[in-house]
Structure 1
């Protein structure tokens, strides 16, 4: 069952600016990209990657440019799909190397299967996250890889985002399955699927960019939040645990 309504994504992706690529000077992008490039092998021609919930396409662009995959993406919101196609063109990816499918991947038959299946900020929008993970596996070829990452709104991040939601009218906490953002829970889920766990950990330390502080209209509160989050990022920049880190990511091999 989806937690986040389609209208939320229509508004969100309608406001995105292009082009979008992984920014290695931005810590959150960098640590996610480094994890992908470390644990997912570079391939020869004619091997394909799929990203579920692919807009705006920066992670597919990364694996195209660095790992040589042809790239496909699923988006169930029209504006998000169009933004992704536009982004690929702006990133000079040939049209015969990418495809964006406008559909709900949960209703689709997992064919063709892929050498790499990814999602970032997707699985945590469902109550039945374990079923969503299994669907990722179904799209993946034998000996292929599944990479799944999502923000960590537990610990200090939960209370900070809950406060921002209350004073700004945003609904980030409401739109995420907070309970599943847990390394131990993910390890149990992967173990039960009998797939090879390649990597699983919290990454990134405390990350101010996890929070949209600019949504806070009160100037004084916005200033306090920016100063506080900057201080926390200095103190906890490299702390990796469930109470501090901005992100949780795992890599599974479909052996």
Structure 2
């Protein structure tokens, strides 16, 4: 499909290159406070994570917030997800799994919370992929989407040292104002559309990069952390993530 910047083979290769996927998800996992507030403020009982394999956020929501959670992705290797659940003290049936192509799937039910973390930036038509999220959302439900901010310094690192990975991302969608406009046009009430995090850098499969690249990245990371300790604020230039949170009007 022309809307896709990746395909199933890309994600098979991506996850097969990873090791140590079955980790214990901590209570202070990334976006934990934001998700906890969303669940509390919207009285969330059911949630679906789209494009979330192996299911870290689904596990977080089940383990710490006791939600009825579904994980939907078009690549799910169930032994990995089952091991992840076991590592976190959960049973194999504690999370519902749907392995399907989001573009050929009609939602069988709707949820109080629909979330994705690092999904929408892999599609060229941002409005389309966001509207596919909204199709899963109950009236009165909460939408929670996060994505990386490759317009920040972190994006320069990706483009410079991992161009193949950078090219799998739709950089133009990494704009809180654009995302806010899309969600509002769909009829939702936007609660926040903002940059998130003071500073961070990462590279996929960093261990495979040259010593020089790894050293440069480490020094830059340390300098950025010092700078944002002195001047602690979110910004387009340094913040590693973007958050969009909205409510579907009843």
TM-score (norm 1): 0.87
Number of aligned positions between the proteins: 244
Note the residue ranges of structure 1 that are not aligned, 5 or more in a row: none
| Cα distance change on mapping 1:217 and 1:94 into 2, 3 Å | closer
| 2:138 is equivalent to residue 145 of structure 1 | no
| 2:38 is equivalent to residue 39 of structure 1 | yes
What is aligned with 1:74? 72
DSSP 3-state at the match of 2:142: strand
Q: 2:51 aligns with which of 40, 50, 53?
A: 53
DSSP 3-state at the match of 2:213: helix
The answer as to whether partners of 2:22 and 2:80 remain within 8 angstroms in 1 is: no
| 2:185 is equivalent to residue 192 of structure 1 | yes
| 2:216 is equivalent to residue 214 of structure 1 | no
Note the residue ranges of structure 2 that are not aligned, 5 or more in a row: none
The answer as to whether partners of 1:42 and 1:68 remain within 8 angstroms in 2 is: no
Distance 1:84 1:96 in 2: 11
Distance 2:206 2:145 in 1: 28
In the TM superposition, 1:208-247 aligns within 5 A as 208=201, 210-212=202-204, 214-215=206-207, 217-236=209-228, 238-247=232-241
Distance 1:182 1:7 in 2: 28
- Structure 1 residue 87: Cα displacement: 1.2
Distance 2:80 2:205 in 1: 24
| Cα distance change on mapping 1:82 and 1:108 into 2, 3 Å | farther
RMSD of aligned alpha carbons: 2.2
The answer as to whether partners of 1:203 and 1:245 remain within 8 angstroms in 2 is: yes
Q: 1:122 aligns with which of 108, 119, 122?
A: 119
The answer as to whether partners of 1:22 and 1:33 remain within 8 angstroms in 2 is: no
- Structure 1 residue 62: Cα displacement: 1.5
Moved over 6 A (4+): 42-45
